[in-house]
Structure formats: C-alpha cells, structure tokens
Amino acid sequence: MNEEHVDIKTPEFVSIQFQIAGLGSRSAAFIIDQLLLWAINILSLIVLFFVLDGMSKMEFIMIGNSLPIAITIIALFLVNWGYFFAFEFFSGGRTFGKKLMGIRVIQENGHSITLLSSFIRNLIRIIDSLPTAYFLGIIMIFFHSKHKRLGDLVAGTIVVHERKAKRNKKQSPLEEEINNRGLTKEDLTIDEWTLKSLGTKDWKLISTYASRFLQIPLMERNQLTEQIAELLFPKIGLDPEGEKTSDLENTLLVLYLILKDEWEFEL
C-alpha cells in the first residue's frame, strides 16, 4: 500500500503533514505488544499455580482457592487493558510495540493524546476486538480513509509515523542560541504526569516566548522571562524566586525543547 498522508491545521493555525500508519505497521506493533502481554500473563499464571500449590490445608479451608484466582483475574484484566491506556498517555502515544515500529497515536488536531482520549480509545478496544482476533478493528483500519478503527473514531485520534530527523537541516537562530548555551532536554527533569498537566495555553506561552526570544530588546526580554517563569515554574515544581535571569532563561528554553516534542510533530 502506498504511503498516505494527511494535512492537519493545528489550533495555532500551523499546517502539518503526517504520514498515516497503515494496517501493516499497526498490526506488527499490536503483535509485539500482545507477545509482551502474553509473557506477563503466563508468568502471572505460574505464580498463581505456586501460590495455590503452597497453600496449607488450613489456609485452603479458611479462604478457599477462589480469592487468589479472583485477584489474579482482576490484575490480568487491569494489566491487559491498562497497558495500552497508560503507555499511550504517559509515553507520548507509544506502546512498546508502536515505539519499535516508529508509530504513535495523536489527536486529530496534531497534539499529543489526552487522558480522556486514551481512556475512550482503549475502552472501545473491547468492541474492536469482536467477534474474534480483532476482526472488526482490522476491517475498519483497512477500509477507512485515515486507517481508523472504531476507538479512533470515537476518541478523535489517528495513528501516524514518527517524525524523521532531517539531515543537514540548517539550524534556526534560536536552535543555534540553545546549542551555544549548551542546553539539552536532559537539563530539566519533569515527571510524565506533570508534563501532561501542561496544556495548550502553556505551550502557546512558551512557544511564543521562544519565537520572540532573540527579537526583543534585552530589558523587555528580562521582564518577559521573569513574568513567564512566575507563571510556569510553579506548574513544574520550581521556584523562580532568587534565580538569576540567565538561569530562568535557560530553564524556559529547556522547557520549550521538552514541550516541543509533545506539541509539535513533523515528518
């Protein structure tokens, strides 16, 4: 099947082109994820067997063998369903299989998948798996123009190929400034939950700041840096009080690099 693309205009009025992930790459990613889950399921059943086998007669009479079995069933359900839900939200739309195949789930507007969308998408997975072997989901993906299964339609998501690094791409003045300062994303540690709590308004604020960083006079830039730091730092667990303006600038630029990976996609 030929590569298919879709153009999306983001809320920031930026047109971005995505390469849609087809049935082949999505199936391969799903198989990898299922193999991983099967391994977890088998290990859980082996543990359950040893637990039941090791129970004394007194324990067996008091609680029977239904409690360990019930706990295992509930735990396996949570793992098998929660795996996709948690990874797609906390890992930028990528399960282990999707990451290996170079694909990810995003919102139709080009932004990262939200908590609600991930929940809905994977709740509908139960229907997509009917009547057996993901038959309904496969049919939907094959015939839909954007290769969507029912869960994607309801949640407003699409599955796309990861952006590819462009070699020999000329750096922008901002990128050169960031490199000259020796800044990388690793300079700031933000847990996934905090990262996901930063919304569209936060991204617009930090992206506008970054885009104007080299264009505004120094005094105005210092004032703007302090104002934005006061707004954003508490959201990521930092205190701007007493910090030098240059340190505030560096932290905001690193935050921009981190959020850029979450909010901007390009092939």
The tens place of each residue's pLDDT in the chain, 267 residues long, gives: 445 777 776 555 556 778 899 999 999 999 999 999 999 999 988 988 887 776 655 555 455 567 778 888 899 988 998 999 999 988 888 999 999 999 999 988 877 888 899 999 999 998 998 887 788 999 999 998 889 999 999 999 999 998 665 555 677 888 899 999 999 988 998 887 888 788 878 888 999 999 899 999 999 999 999 999 999 999 999 999 888 999 999 999 999 998 887 766 544
Q: Domain end: 129, 161, 193, which one?
A: 161
Q: For residues 157 and 182, state if they share a domain.
A: no
Q: For residues 145 and 252, state if they share a domain.
A: no
Q: For residues 224 and 140, state if they share a domain.
A: no
**How many domains does the chain fold into?**
2
Q: For residues 49 and 123, state if they share a domain.
A: yes
∠ CA 54-57-61, nearest 5°, is: 115
- Residue 107: enclosing H or E segment and its boundaries? strand 103-107
Q: For residues 147 and 60, state if they share a domain.
A: yes
Tokens coding 88: 């797609």
Q: Domain end: 161, 186, 217, which one?
A: 161
Ramachandran angles phi, psi of 244, nearest 5°: -70, 150
Q: For residues 136 and 225, state if they share a domain.
A: no
DSSP 3-state assignment of 244? coil
152: buried, middle or exposed (CB in 10 Å: 19+, 13-18, 0-12)? buried
Q: For residues 12 and 81, state if they share a domain.
A: yes
CA 116 to chain centre: 13
Query: Is residue 166, in this structure, part of any structural domain at all?
Result: no
CA–CA separation, 99 and 24 (whole Å):
15
Q: What is the pTM of this model?
A: 0.68
Query: Is residue 168, in this structure, part of any structural domain at all?
Result: no
Q: For residues 210 and 99, state if they share a domain.
A: no
For the beta carbon of residue 50, count every other beta carbon within 10 angstroms. 10
**Range of the structural domain that residue 12 is part of:** 5-161
Q: For residues 178 and 223, state if they share a domain.
A: yes
